[in-house]
Amino acid sequence: MSKLTHLNEHGQAHMVDISDKQNTSRQAIAEGSITMQPETLRLIMEGGHKKGDVFATARIAGIQAAKKCSDLIPLCHPLALTKIAIEFTVEPPLAGQEPNRIGIQVLCKLNGKTGVEMEALTAVSITALTIYDMCKAVDKAMVIGNVRVLEKQGGKSGDWRTT
């Protein structure tokens, strides 16, 4: 196993020096989900929510979150992201049940010196939290979960995909 790069030789947290790294094309895809009552999902899908378009608001929040990742996570480098894409899917229900989960997938991309996994994960998390915030008045039992990196491309460590 590799050593933790955010700890110096004395075990103290520090920001990794990336000054000498070359810019390369990098991207990361992360996913997560939010599970809710079927009625809540129906309300979102039919556009009948009193607060407005849940998907549009959550997408904007996720994009803002990716751009602000270094403000939220102490040792992240500020990055000049060139693409942030957020997609929603209504995940198929178990046999005989109504759909009640929204899948969230985020792609973050840039040409830079460090990866974008944290930006993609942050965007997924804030997107899901925004859906929760907009819908909590009708469904307080929603569950956010399954947040993970699906793949990353570029950089010294190369490409990686979850199995």
Q: Which residues are catalytic?
A: 133
Identify the residue whose tokens are 């979960």: 145
Beta-sheet pairing, 24-35 with 101-112: antiparallel
Distance between CA atoms of residues 85 and 61, nearest Å: 12
